[in-house]
Amino acid sequence: MQLNMPDGPKFWLVGDMEHRDFRESVALIRRTANVGPGPPELIILAESRPGTIRRREYERLRRSAPLAAVVSLCGSWCEGELRTGKPLAGATRLYWYEFPIWWQRQLELHAIGRCPEWAGSEDCGLRIADCGLGGRVAVSADCWDKFDALADALQQVKLKADWIRSPQDLAVDESVRAGIWDGGQLSEAEADRLAAFCARMSLHDAPVIALLDFPRKDRCAFAREMGAAAVLGKPWANNSLVTTLLHVTRVRTRSARVA
């Protein structure tokens, strides 16, 4: 299937598009893209499991469109492929929970006349500092090293991080704009801690991003039930973390204005 953003670059979408992991992503693409002929600028491969796209098929696609960038849209079962398998060479990997916000970012870049990230320009991303977010981010982590890694990522875009070791540590402060909660695979005990953190952050009307190990559909849904606005897997990419932070904060701000 050949698709393109409205008045934008053409792309192909190939693979297991009906898999449950990709429903949100594929629906988003279909809402924001039009069919267009011609060679693609981007090929999106929907891979629910390693090997969904056979290497022979992948090589044929690359020969058909040698100038196209490739994004591998990975399902939950692809999490361990980087350690034990052989990922497709030359493809940028995005997991199913990362893709929707990534795709929306590409639409925003297109709308303001900037190049998409797959073009490889170092200055093509939307920087949070450019958008005037400012303020503090509350980071719930069980040790200093985890907090420090997150604080460093936030500092690069001029956001200050506060280490929150328990929900009671967080004083009511209007400068807190969002929260990040670092967890594992969301056991019942972790879910209680996440719910407490989200409840405390709700006093600031601040959305929370939950970081989980190998998030599955049910764990992501559980995290949202506990109050998380978004879920990312670990290890996270700084760009994905910052972009997700910006997205959930914008959504919360728009909701508050409507209310």
Mean pLDDT of 31-42: 71
Please report the pLDDT score of residue 120 as a whole number: 64
Host domain of residue 136: 128-258
Last residue of a domain, one of 119, 152, 171: 119
Cis peptide, bond prior to residue 235, ω within 30 of zero? yes
Both 231 and 144 in one domain: the answer is: yes
Residue with more model confidence, 195 or 168: 195
Helices (H), the chain: 23-32, 55-64, 81-84, 99-111, 144-155, 188-202, 217-225, 238-258
pLDDT surpassing 50 at residue 257: no
Domain match, 111 and 189 both: no
pLDDT of 90-106, one tens digit each?
888 899 988 988 888 88
108 and 135 part of one domain: no
- C-alpha Rg value of the chain to the nearest Å: 19
Query: Residue 76: which of 61, 96, 94, 92 has the closest Cα?
Result: 96
Average pLDDT of the residues in 57-82: 86
Residues 169 and 114 in one domain: no
Determine if the pTM surpasses 0.85: no
Say if residue 209 is in the same domain as residue 147. yes
For residue range 139-177, list pLDDT tens digits in order.
999 899 999 999 998 887 888 899 988 766 666 567 888
Is a pLDDT exceeding 90 seen at residue 209? yes
Same domain, 169 and 217: yes
Vertex 206: Cα angle to 97 and 257 (nearest 5): 100
Question: Average per-residue pLDDT in the chain?
Answer: 81
The dihedral through the CA atoms of 195, 229, 13, 91 has a sign that is: negative
- Per the structure, how many domains does the chain have? 2
| Residue whose pair of structure tokens reads 């290497």 in the numeric block | 55
Task: Give residue for tokens 């904060």.
Answer: 249
Q: How do beta strands 34-35 and 2-4 pair? A: antiparallel
What digits encode the pLDDT tens for the residues 216-241?
888 899 999 999 999 998 888 888 88
Q: State phi, psi for 168 to the nearest 5 degrees.
A: -70, -15
